[in-house]
Amino acid sequence: MTNISITANRKTSSFLSALDLITLIFCGWILLYMCFGFTRSPEVIKHIPVYLAIVVGVLFLAWLQKQPRWAYDPQNPSKRYQVLNFFRGLYPVFLFAYFYTSGYAFNRIIFRDWLDPFFMRIDQLIFGYLPSLVWEKLYSHWAIQELFHFAYFCYYPLIAGIPVYLYFTQKDAFREVIFNLTFIFYCCYTIYSVLPVIGGRYLPEAMALTKTYRGGPFTHIMVFIYRTSNHLGGAFPSSHIAIAIVLTISALKYIRPLGYICTVITFFLSLATVYCHYHWFIDAVFGVITGIAGYYLANWTYFHLKEKGFN
């Protein structure tokens, strides 16, 4: 019976993992999009080989793990297998920054101009003013600035810390969280590829404020990050809010005390995206919607793919 079960599992197990599948779908879309828009954005020529290399790399690693020397041995898992398996379960994290910044080369293929004036009008209709420009002026005390820049900065340790903790404590939860983060990022990046929106920094005054050293240490840290990063676009919806919400729900599910802390941080982070001039208010609203809806859609997709043999 045991041998039959093992054989059946081998037959139903896919060559690709769930992470591989969604990465290949995302890269395939971007490659087709870049080829379609090559004449409208010649800069894509330097990114096409990179995306192709990523596709080849994903397929190669999937193939490699099926080879006898690298395959899983339940009696004696080799170091070689453990290293490869760890990397295959985490590699999209190392690609997020590139996927995000490369979008600047092709995010104006359909719309030639930034769409910020449209999103500005929505904020103006809701408030009668632009929160991304006004809120910091109204509440300009250095302690308030520091609170919101601290909340925004917390995104970075959270996105690294929670998966790392789960890797050492709950392997299944780790794999689920990494898939959900990857799924949400790819959804956001797909939207960014067709909707070129800068956010609050579209306004010269707001752009200058995000690059002006002032206030306390966390305000300085965020200014340093935005001074050294030249990317534009990728504002609608706010991926910072969407990812923070996914991490918060995951923490509430698997590390409840930390989940309560994440809830407070995510609340202030959501306000900070507007207060610190990085997003329009409507970006933040759709960031919340993307985070909540995306989490449950990603979870459903993950377990559905597992049932289909994409482990």
Q: Can you give the residue range of the structural domain that contains 116? A: 2-307
Question: Tell me: the pLDDT tens digits for 84-134?
Answer: 888 888 999 999 999 999 998 899 999 999 999 999 999 999 999 999 999
| Total-model pTM | 0.90
Find, among 268, 287, 279, 282, the residue nearest to 148 by Cα: 268
Find, among 183, 195, 180, 177, the residue nearest to 25 by Cα: 183
Dihedral-angle region of residue 215 (phi above 0 means left; psi in -120 to 50 means alpha; beta otherwise): left
The residue among 29 and 65 whose pLDDT is bigger is 29
Question: Tell me: the pLDDT tens digits for 59-75?
Answer: 999 998 888 777 666 66
Give the count of domains, the chain. Answer: 1
